[in-house]
Structures are given as structure tokens and as C-alpha cells.
Structure 1
Amino acid sequence: MEAFFYYLTHKNFYSSNFSRTLITTFVAHDFPYNLMTKSIIHLDFGKVWFRENILIAELNEGILFDVDNNRQLLEIGKNFYVNKPYGYISHRIHSYAVNPMVYLESANVENLKAIAVVTTNDTCKKNTLLERQFYKDANSFEVFDTLDNAFNWIQHKI
């Protein structure tokens, strides 16, 4: 993973579409859920970090997560998990809107095997069930109350 982040910061991985992108390093115990992750990517619309074969995102309060934002996440996943299957967790601790069209594009990513949404908000859960209808395989898109349950499910799917 260290080599990947060196590559990101020194080989101009980010195109102009990644405005104000920042990579920082932290100690695992300083970050929630003890993900044992060494780096985090800050984007205009939220933050992304990695755990083995899972890309985790926490998006900012009040945004509209649209196709352009999704393309940024897909590019990050493509470059981090080169030819390896991976899953995506949307950790929805903030309230924001999602354009369900993002799932049509995500469905075309061959190595993206599963999507999990983690939320305890009932309204968000209902919205997520609607979003799920836009993904290619409803059996590979689930909603969970905890990150642990989402991690375990994705590990099983991959």
C-alpha cells in the first residue's frame, strides 16, 4: 500500500478532476473503527480510505453524490485494486442525496463485486432500498447497521 500512495503523490495520479485532493497519513488507533489503514484520501465531496479489498467512503453532509463524483471513486478503486476484486462501503454518517444513476455506471466495473451501505437512519435505509434497484445485481447490494456486518458480508461476497 505504501508504494501505491507514493505513486499517487509522485506520479500525478490525480487528474484535474480531483481538485483539492489531499492524502494524509495517520495512525490506526487515531481513526474510527480501527481499520488498520495507513492513508486516507480527502476529496471535495468526502473522504475515502482502504482496507484490504474494500474501499470505504464517508461523504460530506448535504452534498448531491452524482455521476462525476462516482467516476472519481471508481477511478480510485480501479487504480488501487488493479485487476483484483473489491467491495465498496458507503458509510452514511451524514445526510446527503444520491443520484441513483451512479449505480448504472458502477455496475459496469468488472472487479467491483459488492456494495454495502451502513446507516442507522430509517429514511436513509428506505432511500437505499430504492437505489438498490438501479444496481446490476440486487444480491450484491445490501444495507447494514454496522461497519462490522458490512465488512463481513463483503468479504463473503468477494
Structure 2
Amino acid sequence: MKVKNTHLIHLIREEHRFNFGSFYFFDDFIISEINEGELFEWDKAQKVLEVGEKFYKNKGSQVNYISNRVHDYSIKPQDWLAYLNKRDLFKVFAVVTYRKTAIYNLVIERFFYKGEIFSFESLLEAVNFIRKGDKLDPVTDFEKLTQKHHDNTL
């Protein structure tokens, strides 16, 4: 399920579209959706990291990251995951997979990434995992999440 097809759309703080995919910045996490057939290499990841560092500059060094794999694409783990291992960028690195091919990529990534990669079958599960880690109540659907957020901002 794409971010734009959920009530999460109402919680997006910034959206960045690149020619290789879309990245949605929320208060407590980033969700990526890489384009179909893309080869996600370090130079592309670096563009996203630069935007993320500007957006989260007052939040500290770690951010929660959800790779929402709605499309099939390839990564070049030796190209950019090695760099990520040198920096503690991610508090949580979560992957939402919808197809078997995405699971195979995840297995390869786990060989290169020194931290733990959590995998989920739905975007809601991944968001709730992050909410739980941040000591927030889980929600049963994205509409309730946006309602809670709206209630807290009043």
C-alpha cells in the first residue's frame, strides 16, 4: 500500500520526489518508495540523506526509516550500506515487503547492514512497531492515527 493511499497523507511534514523515488518525512520517521526497476545506488541515497539531515537537524542523529517496497527495484548494498554502517543513522530500519522478490533483496541487505532490519507485511505494522519503540500507543488503522495526531495538536 502506498503512503498516498492511506490517511498518513495527512501527517506528512515534507515530501521529496526524486527521479528514483518518493520520500515522505514525518515527525518521527521517513517512509521511502523507490520507483519500479530502479537501481538504488549510493549517490541516490546520499541525496536523501542530505534532505533528511536538514529536516531532522533538531531531532538528534537517529531517525526511524521505513522502506515501503511497493515496487520491485535493486539495491547496490556494497555501494551505500557500507557507509551507513559507519554512521548510526537509523534508530529503526524497517522494510515492508509485498512480494517474494523484495524479500530476496532484504536477505542480501542483511549481509551488509550491521544493524537489525525489521521486516513487515504491512505499512501499518511497521508504523506501529516504531510507535511502540517510541512508547506511543499502537493504532488499528491509519485513520485513527491521524485522529490522535489531530487531537494532540488542538
TM-score (norm 1): 0.72
Deviation of 1:74 after TM superposition, in Å, equals: 1.4
Q: Distance in 2 between matches of 1:74 and 1:156?
A: 25
Alignment of 1:1-158 (within 5 A): 31-35=4-8, 36-82=11-57, 83-101=60-78, 102-138=80-116, 141-157=117-133
Q: Distance in 2 between matches of 1:135 and 1:58?
A: 19
Contact 1:59–1:94, Cα closer than 8 Å, also in 2 = yes
Percent identity between the aligned chains?
Answer: 32
Contact 2:37–2:73, Cα closer than 8 Å, also in 1 = yes
1:25-74 Cα deviation digits (max 9, x unpaired) = xxxxx932211214311111111111221111111111100010111111
Contact 1:113–1:157, Cα closer than 8 Å, also in 2 = no
Ranges in structure 2 where 5+ consecutive residues have no aligned partner? 135-154
TM-score (norm 2): 0.74
Q: Distance in 2 between matches of 1:57 and 1:31?
A: 12
Alpha-carbon spacing, 1:64–1:50, altered in 2? closer, same or farther (3 Å):
same
More helix, by proportion = 2
Give RMSD over aligned pairs.
1.9
Contact 2:13–2:27, Cα closer than 8 Å, also in 1 = no
Number of residue pairs aligned between Structure 1 and Structure 2: 127
**Other structure's SS at 1:31 match:** helix
Q: Distance in 1 between matches of 2:133 and 2:84?
A: 16
- 2:147 match: none
Deviation of 1:127 after TM superposition, in Å, equals: 1.9
Q: Distance in 1 between matches of 2:13 and 2:54?
A: 17
Q: Which runs of 4+ in 1 moved over 6 A?
A: none
